A and B are shown apart, each in its own frame.
Chain A
Amino acid sequence: ETGVTQSPTHLIKTRGQQVTLRCSSQSGHNTVSWYQQALGQGPQFIFQYYREEENGRGNFPPRFSGLQFPNYSSELNVNALELDDSALYLCASSSTMGQSTDTQYFGPGTRLTVL
């Protein structure tokens, strides 16, 4: 069973640029959630995708957007990067929606630094 993978591992961007982060969900999982974890803080929910549709969004501005593909992999896009966007971005996958006991499995994250 393949776990959740994310790419790239690290990324350095400058303020105002755009970035795309990628996530491959665990085999058999059709739900992907994205979280932002600032240094010394707990992860904060950005949004969730289920079967290619956004299914819930946290308190993040519209410049944070996402996609889920037919193979359930996902992308997180951030436009107009700000210094405060520097964080570890985590992707988590889980299996069928509606089964509330299904838990989320996290990838290793992408560390984004905005200069």
Chain B
Amino acid sequence: AQSVTQPDIHITVSEGASLELRCNYSYGATPYLFWYVQSPGQGLQLLLKYFSGDTLVQGIKGFEAEFKRSQSSFNLRKPSVHWSDAAEYFCAVGARTGGSYIPTFGRGTSLIVHP
């Protein structure tokens, strides 16, 4: 069975600083990987996904993530954090069922942004 580990419960950064959120996965086949952001009162929003091809994927809001098979990692990065990026971030690995990808989520990392 697949699993996702997000080792950091909280991350605190200053506005304008760079950000890296860690994600390690366990999956027997080629993984389908996702990063979501959850803001209070809003649903989870997909930031980016990796299915195949270029291991560096670009997402929305200036985020990117790099798939490293040798390390079973899919870390999320942003070069300059904005105060509005404060939220909960979830990494997920998807199991494919037909055309659907059923995600298994990590426990999330809470991003705190200091002015």
* Chains A and B bind each other: no
